[in-house]
Homo-oligomer: A and B are copies of this chain.
Amino acid sequence: MKSYRSVFFANSFLLIKNIFQQQQSSYTTNKMVNAKKFIFAKRFDGLPKVTDFRLEEEVLEELKDGEVLLEAIYLSVDPYMRPYSEKYPTGITMIGSQIAKVIESKNSAYPKDALVCGYLGWRTHTIFNPNEVSGDDAIKTYILPSFGGLPPSLGLGQLGMPGNTAYFGFLDICKPKEGEVVVVSGAAGAVGNLVGQIGKIKGCKVIGIAGSDDKCTWLTSELGFDHAINYKTESVAEVLKKYAPDGVDCYFDNVGGAISSIVINQMRDFGRISVCGSISSYNTPVAEWPKVPILQPTFVFKQLKMEGFIVSRFCSKWFEAIQCMKKWTDEGKLKYRETVTNGFENMPQALIDMLQGQNTGKAIVKV
């Protein structure tokens, strides 16, 4: 009886709330825009499943002064979505960024047809008020800088958050010097491939670790990596010794786990490790995280430094980095590849595929 009554009261409350909201907006004309959105419906257990998400429709109201209506063109699926969504209750709109077009505007700073990079969630249409953005949120949603002839989808990749993750996480934390040996794990992913390319721009010897021969070929043949190791078919410890006989100076870590211990144990004195992600553990409960031999003795005797980071800490230099990455892209020094999934309704599958490493370069969804 008790649970039944709770539901009853909850529903009554919702009913009252809806009526109240309708009254509030009764002064606006209803111009119906249907937004599709994915709800984070079920807490993930291991690898996310398509059924953990629920597609819903939402009728958007007419714009108020200061607001704009955004229509998604490309949406991003990124590794961070797996651990970050754990911090939210189920029922929220799934988190994420998109490249969207302003299709209606009541804000002169966001004119019609402008392109926006926005942390708006998995939604096709969104009402957004730029005046409500302040502080560090300015790097979450902003008018896309001019990319010249480059595709706007790069705003989700190397000219956006993943690009800045590679730029700052590698340059500010690893502080690579010309001639040094750089190892990148998750090297064919959205961030890893850029770290390796930046390493080459900086005159380093770059070794990538990836999960297929095709990815490895892409890294060495197209992106200019010096070497690539397929961790699924090769012994990372043995092959790394061959490619870096004098040890590793910089390690950019996207994966965590046993591979990272192998690389760390082959580092040179005063080596630097930038920990960007730990995708090998994202689908595993904390209690089941892989165990590795302690790293402290290696840290002492080789005087290593390791630092984890979240890219938002570099927000004050956000657009400078994008300009630099654009310049390198224009000059042909930074190449790009996108793995594109078509159709908004395929977002869950695109996320799942990316978490399993089925993408090469940046994974995006085209609406």
Contact = CB atoms under 8 A, between A and B. Distances in A.
Nearest to A256: B296
Contacts of A256: 294, 296-297
A103 interface: no
Nearest to A265: B286
Contact of A289 (B83, B297, B306): B297
Contacts of A303: 307-310, 313
B301 A293 contact: no
A290 B313 CA distance: 34
Interface string A250-266: 00010011001000000
Contacts of A297: 83, 256, 278, 281-282, 289
B277 A300 contact: yes
B294 A289 contact: yes
Contact of A310 (B253, B275, B291, B300): B300
Nearest to A297: B278
B294 A257 contact: yes
A366 interface: no
A293 B294 contact: no
A329 to B, nearest CB: 27
B300 A276 contact: yes
A281 B277 CA distance: 28
Interface of A: 83, 253, 256-257, 260, 275-278, 280-282, 286, 289-310, 313
28 contacts: A83-B301, A253-B296, A256-B294, A256-B296, A256-B297, A257-B296, A260-B294, A275-B296, A276-B300, A277-B300, A278-B294, A278-B297, A278-B299, A280-B294, A282-B297, A289-B294, A290-B294, A291-B291, A291-B292, A291-B294, A296-B308, A298-B308, A300-B309, A301-B310, A303-B308, A304-B307, A305-B307, A306-B307
